[in-house]
Structure 1
Amino acid sequence: MALKLIRKLVTAGVLVFASAAAVSAQTLVFTAIPDEDETKLVERFRGIADYLEEKLDVEVRYIPVKSYAAAISAFRNNQVQLAWFGGLSGVQARSLVPGSQAIAQGVEDKAFYSHIIAHSSTGLEESEELPEELRGKTFTFGSKGSTSGRLIPEYYIREAFNEAPEEVFSRVGFSGNHTRTLRLVESGTYETGAINFSVWNKELENGNVDTDAVKVIWTTPSYPNYQWTIRGDVNERFGEGFMDRVQQALLSMEDKELLESFPRSGFIPVSNDAYKPIEVVGKQIGIID
């Protein structure tokens, strides 16, 4: 089947369709949080759509969104039935859709971590503790809804300084995604920032980091992060056992090019319970009610 890309977005970034007929009852639609540049995401998830179509024998469509909130809204409203969420966005989405399940995470997502990076002009060096010298610097998180670009780094900043980030730093920003965070710190627009290790490593390996301008100065302890989450009503729509079939398709993915685009070495089973620590931290710092 020909893969179609629907890009109709309202100004807030929530998906809309040209007509009810745009997506048939037998089309599995999925999205992903926009944690990197859109061109990279479209290329990655077009490949995933083709892969799932072949495995599941149903039409599969990937729809990009402009924000983490838009991905959650699309899942809540049943505009998508499957989503690649971060730890926090997955917890938030599942809380809005009874019966929804985390079904697969990357091998690396079981013990994920974030880096604090700094521009060379700061003179900051890598250390085992968050350095007191961070105080007074400018700092950018990624998206406001990001686990690795906001939630976890903010938690440890609060722990280390016993203050909110706005009180620690002279200026706090939100870049929108990890790639932008890297560019903002690399250019010196912000002196420091938070980025996940996966994006950092991939950009480093691809020669896209000026290591004379930016470096890692601290790394968080590990935490559970990205996962595939599916709505609990997919068996009613697609037939008995469909949720299990989707999970098995993801777990059996072996295409090296697809996996490297995440980048992940493979996918493993996971359940909602694995993300309880994310829920606890989200509530503790006021991101989750």
Structure 2
Amino acid sequence: MSFSIARLALLAALLPAAAGAQTLYFSAIPDEDDTALSERFSKVAEYLEDELGTDVEFVPVKSYPAAVTAFRNDQVQLAWFGGLSGVQARRLTDGAKAIAQGVEDEAFVTYFIANSETGIEPSEEFPADALEGLTFTFGAKTSTSGRLMPEYWIRQETGEAPDEFFSRVGYSGDHSQTLRLVASGAWQVGALNFSVYDKAVTDEAPEVEDARIIWQTPPYPDYNWTIRGDVDARFGEGFTDRVQEALLSMDDPDLLASFPRSGFIPATNDDYAPIEETGDALGLLR
């Protein structure tokens, strides 16, 4: 009797783990507010469930570092990262690899925007003279398009660190907030990824009237889907390939518009070597 009870206890202990292994958890860097993220990724979860025949659940996080931590700690097995956060996550997780990126992510750009009252006009060249001494906000501290690449180009074009070149420097937390803060005049200038600004234009958001594009960076690789290296052992041989194929096959305009991307293409860790090199050079990957 005691042996049977022991066996039942063991099975009961194993059941939650087995059930959990049947759910693929994924997350995304919070580059917009919580409501927008939930709307975007709940639909993606439903699509992946249908394609993979596996329960899929979106796990929201509050910050870029939290997304990296959730991935490292196996709270999520798949994540939609920015260029820098993807590099961070893969460095911390053995076997993790980038498997897809948006068509637009091969050549992503950051917009520098200015409040209309500054009078700064759009320029092909970095408008150093017009920007010097103004207030400036980045997005999240570990955002590729909202911090890493704009800081890189500020240093390249001015020879100074941002807090030396501008009178005051801040971090809004996400791209949508950067747009709102610059439009309101809370900050005179800011940097955000082009897709968030372009979507605001498409949506006829009032902020674009008061926050104009004044310069854009040269292109660089950015967002990516990254998956843990142990998913095949847990979900079955070839699971990584199946996830990649599901992402590459995503063609529903409504789903793609939520990123927004025109489609997804294959990606590898090597594609993000320029981001890793820049992150190391600026001390953001230590």
Displacement of 1:210 in angstroms is: 3.7
Helix, strand or coil: the match of 1:282?
helix
Whichever residue aligns with residue 217 of structure 2, its letter is: T
1:243 is aligned to 240
Secondary structure in structure 2 of the residue aligned to 1:90: helix
Letter in 1 for 2:170: G
**Partner residue in 2 for 1:173:** 170
Structure 2 letter corresponding to 1:147: T
- Is 2:146 the counterpart of 1:149? yes
Aligned to 1:164: 161
User: After the TM superposition, which residues 244-259 of structure 1 pair with which residues of structure 2 at under 5 Å, given as runs?
Assistant: 244-259=241-256
Q: Deviations over 1:94-149 (max 9, x none)?
A: 00111111000000011000000000111111111221220110000000010000
Of 136, 139, 143, the match for 1:139: 136
Unaligned runs of 5+ residues in structure 2 are: 1-15
- Matched residue, 2:62: 66
Question: d(CA) in 2 for partners of 1:118 and 1:21?
Answer: 51
Match of 1:25 in 2: 21
Superposition misfits of 4+ residues, deviation over 4 angstroms: 20-23
Using structure 2 for the length normalisation, give the TM-score.
0.92
Q: 1:171 to 1:90 in 2, by over 3 A?
A: same
Over the residues paired in the alignment, what is the CA RMSD in angstroms? 1.2
Count of matched residue positions in the alignment of Structure 1 and Structure 2: 270
The question of 1:44 aligning with 2:24 is answered no
Paired residue type of 1:114: T
Change (3 A) 1:130 1:209: farther
Q: Report 1:55-204 matches (<5 A).
A: 55-131=51-127, 132-204=129-201
Name the aligned partner's letter for residue 34 of structure 1: P
Cα shift at 1:211:
4.0
Which runs of 5 or more structure 1 residues have no equivalent in the other structure?
1-19
How far apart are residue 209 of structure 1 and its match? 3.6
- TM-aligned CA distance change 1:191 to 1:248, over 3 Å: same
Instruction: State the 1:27 CA deviation.
Output: 0.6
Instruction: Report the alpha carbon displacement of residue 288 of structure 1 after superposing the two structures with TM.
Output: 1.4
**Corresponding letter in the other structure for 1:144:** K
> In structure 1, what is the Cα distance between the partners aligned to 2:276 and 2:41?
27
2:285 matched to which residue of 1? 288
8 Å Cα contact 2:150/2:217 also seen in 1: yes
Q: Please name the residue that 1:12 is paired with.
A: none
C-alpha contact (below 8 Å) 2:179/2:207 kept by paired residues: no
Larger radius of gyration: 2
CA distance in 2, matches of 1:46, 1:188: 34
Identity of aligned residues (%): 62
What's 1:222 paired with? 219
Residues 151-208 of structure 1 show CA distances to partners (whole Å, capped at 9, x for unaligned) of 0000000011111100011110100000000000000000000011000000011001
Secondary structure of residue in 2 paired with 1:53: helix
Q: Which residue of 2 is the match for residue 7 of structure 1?
A: none
Structure 1: distance between partners of 2:85 and 2:236? 27
| Partner Cα distance (1:44, 1:200) in 2 | 17
SS at match of 1:140: strand
Deviations 1:232-251 (A, max 9, x none): 00000101000000000000
- How far residue 51 of structure 1 moved from its aligned partner, in angstroms, is 0.4
In the alignment, residue 260 of structure 1 is paired with which amino acid? A
CA distance in 2, matches of 1:66, 1:199: 18
